[in-house]
Chains A and B, each alone.
Chain A
Amino acid sequence: MAGAAPLPSSDADLVRLLLAINPDGLGGVCLRGLSGPERDAWVQGLVKALPEGTPWIKVPINVGQDRLLGGLDFAATMAAGKPVFARGLLEAADGGVLNLAMAERVDAATAAIVAQALDQRVVRVERDGIADTRAARFGIVAFDEGLEDDERLPEVLAERVAFRLDAAALADAGDVAAIRRAVGSARSRLAEVAAPPAIIEALVGTALGFGIDSVRAELLALEAARTIAAWQGLREVDEAAAAAAARLVYAWRATRMPAEATDEEQHNEEEEPPDEDDDETRASNEDELPDDVIVDAVRAALPDGLLEALAGDPGPRRAASGGRSESRTKSRRRGRPIGVKASTDLAGSRLNLLATLKAAAPWQTLRRREPAASSKRLALRKEDLHVTRFEDNVETATIFLVDASGSQAAQRLAEVKGAIELLLADCYVRRDHVALIAFRRDAAETLLPPTRALARVKRSLAALPGGGATPLATGLDRARELATSVTRHGRVPVIVLLTDGRANVARDGSTGSEAASDDALKAARLLRAEGFRTLLVDTSRRPRPRARELAAAMGANYVPLPFADAAKISATVMSNVA
Chain B
Amino acid sequence: MFPFSAIVGQDDMKQALMIAAVDRSIGGVLLFGDRGTGKSTAIRALASLLPKMRAVTGCPYSEDPEFSHCDPCVCPKRKSRLVPVPVVDLPLGVTEDRVVGALDIERALVHGEKAFDPGLLARANRGFLYIDEVNLLEDHIVDLLLDVAASGENLVEREGLSVRHPARFVLVGSGNPEEGELRPQLIDRFGLAVEVVTSKDVKGRVEVIRRRDAYERDPAGFAKKWSRADGRLRRRIVKARERLDDLEPGDEILAKSAEICMALGTDGSRGELTLMRAARAFAALADDEAVTLEHLRQVAPMALSHRLRRDPLDESSAGTRVERVIERVL
Chain A residue numbers with a CB within 8 Å of B200 are 208
Min Cβ gap B169→A in Å is: 15
Confirm or deny: A362 has a beta carbon within 8 angstroms of a beta carbon on chain B.
yes
Min Cβ gap B196→A in Å is: 12
A215–B213 alpha-carbon span in the complex (Å): 12
Query: Which residues of A, 188-223, contact B by the 8 Å Cβ criterion?
Result: 191, 195, 197, 200-201, 203-205, 207-208, 213-219, 222
Confirm or deny: A358 has a beta carbon within 8 angstroms of a beta carbon on chain B.
yes
Chain A residue nearest to B88 (CB atoms) is A126
Min Cβ gap B291→A in Å is: 32
A197, A358, A428: the one contacting B206 at CB < 8 Å is A197
A479–B97 alpha-carbon span in the complex (Å): 44
B109 touches A126 (CB 8 A): no
A452 touches B110 (CB 8 A): no
Please, could you name 18 A-B residue pairs with CB atoms under 8 Å apart, sorted by A? A69-B93, A108-B179, A112-B92, A208-B202, A214-B36, A215-B36, A215-B208, A219-B212, A323-B35, A325-B178, A361-B109, A361-B112, A362-B160, A364-B112, A417-B312, A454-B181, A461-B312, A462-B315
Query: Which residues of B, 98-123, contact A by the 8 Å Cβ criterion?
Result: 98-99, 102-106, 108-110, 112, 114, 117, 119-120
B181 touches A83 (CB 8 A): no
Given known contacts A126-B95, A129-B97, A129-B105, A204 and B198 CB-to-CB distance under 8 angstroms = no
A112 touches B180 (CB 8 A): no
Chain B residue nearest to A205 (CB atoms) is B202
Chain A residue nearest to B200 (CB atoms) is A208
A308–B95 alpha-carbon span in the complex (Å): 49
B208 touches A358 (CB 8 A): no
B177 touches A455 (CB 8 A): yes
Confirm or deny: A318 has a beta carbon within 8 angstroms of a beta carbon on chain B.
no
Confirm or deny: B232 has a beta carbon within 8 angstroms of a beta carbon on chain A.
no
Confirm or deny: A82 has a beta carbon within 8 angstroms of a beta carbon on chain B.
yes
A217–B106 alpha-carbon span in the complex (Å): 45
Chain A residue numbers with a CB within 8 Å of B212 are 215, 219
Confirm or deny: A265 has a beta carbon within 8 angstroms of a beta carbon on chain B.
yes
Confirm or deny: A81 has a beta carbon within 8 angstroms of a beta carbon on chain B.
yes
Secondary structure class of chain A's binding surface, majority of residues: helix
B66-74, B130-138, B292-300, B319-327: which lies at the A interface? B130-138
Chain A residue nearest to B98 (CB atoms) is A126
Confirm or deny: A280 has a beta carbon within 8 angstroms of a beta carbon on chain B.
yes
Confirm or deny: A2 has a beta carbon within 8 angstroms of a beta carbon on chain B.
no
Q: Residues 35-54 of chain B: 1 if any A CB is under 8 Å from the residue's CB, otherwise 0? A: 11110100000000000000
B93 touches A109 (CB 8 A): yes
Confirm or deny: B79 has a beta carbon within 8 angstroms of a beta carbon on chain A.
no
A478–B130 alpha-carbon span in the complex (Å): 43
Min Cβ gap B87→A in Å is: 13
Identify the 3 closest CB pairs spanning chains A and B, nearest first: A421-B312, A214-B36, A361-B108
- Beyond A361-B103, A422-B312, 19 additional contacts (C-beta under 8 Å) are A83-B105, A83-B109, A109-B92, A125-B91, A126-B99, A127-B98, A156-B35, A208-B205, A217-B36, A321-B178, A328-B178, A357-B109, A417-B313, A418-B313, A428-B183, A455-B181, A456-B178, A461-B312, A463-B315
A191 touches B217 (CB 8 A): yes
Given known contacts A82-B109, A112-B92, A128-B95, A200 and B181 CB-to-CB distance under 8 angstroms = no
Query: Which residues of B, 179-204, contact A by the 8 Å Cβ criterion?
Result: 179-181, 183, 198, 200-203
Confirm or deny: B140 has a beta carbon within 8 angstroms of a beta carbon on chain A.
yes
Chain A residue numbers with a CB within 8 Å of B36 are 159, 213-217
Min Cβ gap B43→A in Å is: 13
Chain A residue numbers with a CB within 8 Å of B120 are 126
B97 touches A82 (CB 8 A): no
Given known contacts A159-B35, A222-B213, A336-B138, A358 and B205 CB-to-CB distance under 8 angstroms = no
Confirm or deny: A365 has a beta carbon within 8 angstroms of a beta carbon on chain B.
yes
Interface centre among A119, A214, A268, A358 (most CB of B within 10 A): A358
